[in-house]
Amino acid sequence: MDENRETPALGRRALIARIGWGAFAASIAGSLAAGVRYMFPKALDEPPSKFKAPPPDTYGVGSVYAVEENKSFILRDAGGVFAMSAVCTHLGCTVKHMDAKGEFHCPCHGSVFDKDGTNIAGPAPRPLPRLDANVARDGRLEVDTQVEAAKDYRVPVDAGRG
């Protein structure tokens, strides 16, 4: 090494070296980012979020109809028909309908919801969500488990009837 020679602030070699290191770091960072993104698939082979249930007027007042495969309940009260998620708002177990009390109990951590889905005991932080429901063209009830409806949302029983 020639110690006497003064190196300029950014000589040719240093510049090329810096570009080289920068390119290398950028390529590694890009690959890592690609690796992270790789873990988040864009298309999923999962059941559709919408399902169809019998028409609104087929449910008796006060009845609870469980749609197991879609983890939902369809309930009817004086105001109409509504769909409610059966997925506990605590940690995602499926709640059970207790016929005697009309309550919904979660077997995992003991949360209790009343007949409207309001959390009344246990660790559940929120009520069971109402699900978006409409009467489809064929007269049946169409529920979307991914879309939450307002708390007092109901489908009038005569909806869909001419």
Partner 1 sequence: MSAHSLMESLRCSAIYRSIVRRGPADNDIDRSLAITSNVFLHLHPVKIRRHALRFTYTFGLGGITTLLFLILCVTGVLLMFYYVPSPERAYRSMQDLRYVVPYGTFLRNLHHWAAHAMIVTAALHMARVFYTGAFKGTRQFNWVVGVILFVLTLGFSFTGYLLPWDQLAFWAITVGTNMAAAVPLLGGMIRYALLGGNIVGANALLRFYVLHCAVLPALVFVFLAVHFWRVRKDGGISGPPLPAEVPEEGPPERLFATTPGRSYALVALPREAPAAVEESRKSPEDTVLTYPHLLVREAAAAMVVIGGLLLVALFLNAHLEEAANALKTPDPAKAPWYFLGLQEVVSWSTPFIGGVLVPGLMVLALLAIPYVRPNSVGVGVWFHPARRRAVIAFTIGLVLNVLLIVVGMFFRGHGWSLVWPWSN
Binding stretches for partner 1 (CB under 8 A)? 39-41, 44-47, 68-69, 71, 90-96, 105-110, 112, 122-123, 125
Nearest Cα residue to 70 out of 155, 141, 143, 140: 143
Going through 2-150 in order, the beta strands assigned E by DSSP cover 50-53, 64-67, 72-77, 80-85, 96-98, 103-105, 112-113, 119-121, 130-135, 141-148
CB of 126 to partner 1, least distance (A): 10
Nearer to partner 1, 52 or 109 (CB): 109
Write down the least CB distance from residue 122 to partner 1, Å: 7
Considering the complex, state which of residue 8 and residue 41 has its C-beta at the smaller distance from partner 1: 41
Phi, psi of 25 (to 5 degrees): -60, -40
Closest to partner 1 by CB, 58 or 94: 94
Closer of 53 and 106 to partner 1 (Cβ): 106
Least Cβ distance, residue 14 to partner 1 (angstroms): 36
- CB 19 to partner 1: min, Å: 33
Instruction: Report yes or no: 144 and 52 within 8 Å, Cβ to Cβ.
Output: no
Report helix, strand and coil shares of the chain as percent, to nearest 5. 20, 30, 50
As measured in angstroms, the least distance from the Cβ of 69 to partner 1 is 6
> Tokens 């009817």 map to which residue?
76
Q: What is the DSSP code string of 66-99?
A: EEGGGTEEEEEETTEEEEEE-B-TTT-PBPEEET
DSSP 2: -
Judged by CB, which is closer to partner 1: 112, or 136? Answer: 112
